[in-house]
Amino acid sequence: MADRARALPLLLCRSVIGLIGRIVLIVHLTILSGVAMADPVSVSGTRILVDGKPFPVRGAAGEDQLAELAVLGATTVRTYGGDPGPVLEAARQAGLKVIVGLWVEHPRRGVDYADRSFVDRQLGEFRQTVEKYKDHPGLLMWGIGNEVESELADDRAVWPAIEEVAAMVKAVDPAHPRIAVLAETGADKVAKLRAAAPSIDVLGINAYGDALYSVVARARDQGWTGPVVITELGARGQWQAATAPWGAPFELTSTQKAIELRRYIAALEKQEVGIILFLWGWKQEVTPSWHSLRLPSGEWTEAAESMAEAWSGRTTDGNHAPRIAALRLVANPSQPYASVAASEAWEVELAASDPDGDPLDIRWIVREESRIRTVAGDFEPDAEMVAGAAVATRDGARVRALPIGKYRLFVEIRDGRGAAATANLPFEVR
């Protein structure tokens, strides 16, 4: 008994020393691995807090060129689905936080949320993602779906489905808020979400064009009192644009888009809501440039300057994108489209400049008008390019006679320093 009593302090001492050694080893391995502890994220009233301090959500949706995005003054990048690991790590290195999207499948694409085998499989996949990345220092919040309610005559199954995912995420990772993303507010969509999905902390709204001026007020009118993030912000969309007689929507030039974006960002900044522009990359949607803040070859457009100006950032090397003052028909400068006979060639005039005086590389491209138009941002194949259809002239371009059909003439202007400008003009050959 006495021997055991004398041995007890020695055993305790060894245990403490062993415990301290294990703690030191863990800390040492953590430092070596470069893994940092995640800051706590919470919601207070209309604010999102990181480590107890208000966090301004501002940035763009995308996955690449995150260092450039951060230089613009951004704090946040948004994803839509898939494995978020690479983006989380790239964002951490760039000093950004990530709204990690969990792609809740859409009923309009044939999913039945009464099918428990599908629901359980989807929940299981989400659970694995949340468990794997819930402690990553780049994580800001979990994005529960994107426009899941869109294009539905009856959306009653959507709201409980969003709540089921959000409740699971909350149980696995209570340390990060959950945001549900809607396609605009609708007449009552925000109210439906608020009633059916109490596990949602932040309201995300995708909104474009002049609807952005009133979108926050409309969400508040439906009873939302928590934080709001405009999860997709853009200049007027194709559904808001005027059209040519055959239905082709008119796309703004990159300069016109930047002018609109400056106005929208300024209006929203005064309302203290989150701002995520769409898309810090590129995608085909009517055209390759409509919603793209970058060219497929990587150059950024003037939209980047609108972000930097609003967020006290800067563009790479302080560079400015080329400006487009006009792209117009030589034969009829006031007409925003061309309609020509099959045997007829025609010309356009381009007025463009560069604020820095950089020499400009101007490229002319003709594509067939996109024949496959999807909804809610679904995948669209690239429109076919017509080789050799346009050649540069001293003041613009000349389009040769083409077969009967619907087309667009595109111009891409690069300054050789990583920035670019875009414009296009729809035309038909009769």
The residue out of 234, 256, 274 marking a domain boundary is 234
**Structural domain total, the chain:** 2
Strand partners, 183: 206
- Considering the domain architecture, whether residues 222 and 362 belong to the same structural domain is answered as no
- Considering the domain architecture, whether residues 76 and 180 belong to the same structural domain is answered as yes
pLDDT in tens, the chain (430 residues): 434 334 434 333 444 444 444 433 333 334 334 446 678 999 999 999 999 999 999 999 999 999 999 999 999 999 999 999 999 999 999 999 999 999 999 999 999 999 999 999 999 999 999 999 999 999 999 999 999 999 999 999 999 999 999 999 999 999 999 999 999 999 999 999 999 999 999 999 999 999 999 999 999 999 999 999 999 999 999 999 999 999 999 999 999 999 999 999 999 999 999 999 999 999 999 999 999 999 999 999 999 999 999 999 999 999 999 999 999 999 999 999 999 999 999 999 999 999 999 999 999 999 999 987 777 778 888 999 999 999 999 999 999 999 999 999 999 999 999 999 999 999 999 9
- Considering the domain architecture, whether residues 347 and 206 belong to the same structural domain is answered as no
Report the pLDDT value the prediction gives residue 371, as an integer from 0 to 100: 84
Report the pLDDT value the prediction gives residue 231, as an integer from 0 to 100: 98
- Considering the domain architecture, whether residues 193 and 75 belong to the same structural domain is answered as yes
| Residue 165: CB atoms within 10 Å | 27
Which of 201, 302, 297, 206 has the alpha carbon at shortest distance from 252? 302
Report the pLDDT value the prediction gives residue 1, as an integer from 0 to 100: 41
d(CA 385, CA 47): 47
Task: Give the CATH number for residue 401.
Answer: 2.60.40.10
Look at residue 409 and tell me if it is in a domain: yes
Element (H, E) at 367: strand 361-368
Task: Give the CATH number for residue 67.
Answer: 3.20.20.80
- Considering the domain architecture, whether residues 177 and 55 belong to the same structural domain is answered as yes
Report the pLDDT value the prediction gives residue 327, as an integer from 0 to 100: 98
- Considering the domain architecture, whether residues 229 and 348 belong to the same structural domain is answered as no
The residue out of 201, 234, 267 marking a domain boundary is 234
Strand partners, 144: 102, 180
CA torsion, ordered 266, 64, 97, 82, to nearest 10 deg: 120
Give the CA angle between residues 128, 134, 140 to the nearest 5°. 130
| Residue 34: CB atoms within 10 Å | 9
> Measuring CA to CA, how many Å separate 272 from each of 97, 173, 303?
18, 26, 21
Instruction: Give the pairing of strands 346-353 and 396-399.
Output: antiparallel
pTM here is 0.90
- Considering the domain architecture, whether residues 185 and 329 belong to the same structural domain is answered as no
- Considering the domain architecture, whether residues 169 and 48 belong to the same structural domain is answered as yes
Look at residue 164 and tell me if it is in a domain: yes
- Considering the domain architecture, whether residues 200 and 339 belong to the same structural domain is answered as no
Look at residue 29 and tell me if it is in a domain: no
Report the pLDDT value the prediction gives residue 150, as an integer from 0 to 100: 95
The residue out of 202, 234, 266 marking a domain boundary is 234
- Considering the domain architecture, whether residues 330 and 223 belong to the same structural domain is answered as no
- Considering the domain architecture, whether residues 211 and 72 belong to the same structural domain is answered as yes
Look at residue 262 and tell me if it is in a domain: no
Look at residue 268 and tell me if it is in a domain: no
Look at residue 50 and tell me if it is in a domain: yes
Report the pLDDT value the prediction gives residue 33, as an integer from 0 to 100: 41
Look at residue 184 and tell me if it is in a domain: yes
Question: What is the rounded end-to-end Cα distance, in angstroms, of the chain?
Answer: 107
Q: Give the domain extent around 88.
A: 41-234
Look at residue 10 and tell me if it is in a domain: no
- Considering the domain architecture, whether residues 62 and 164 belong to the same structural domain is answered as yes
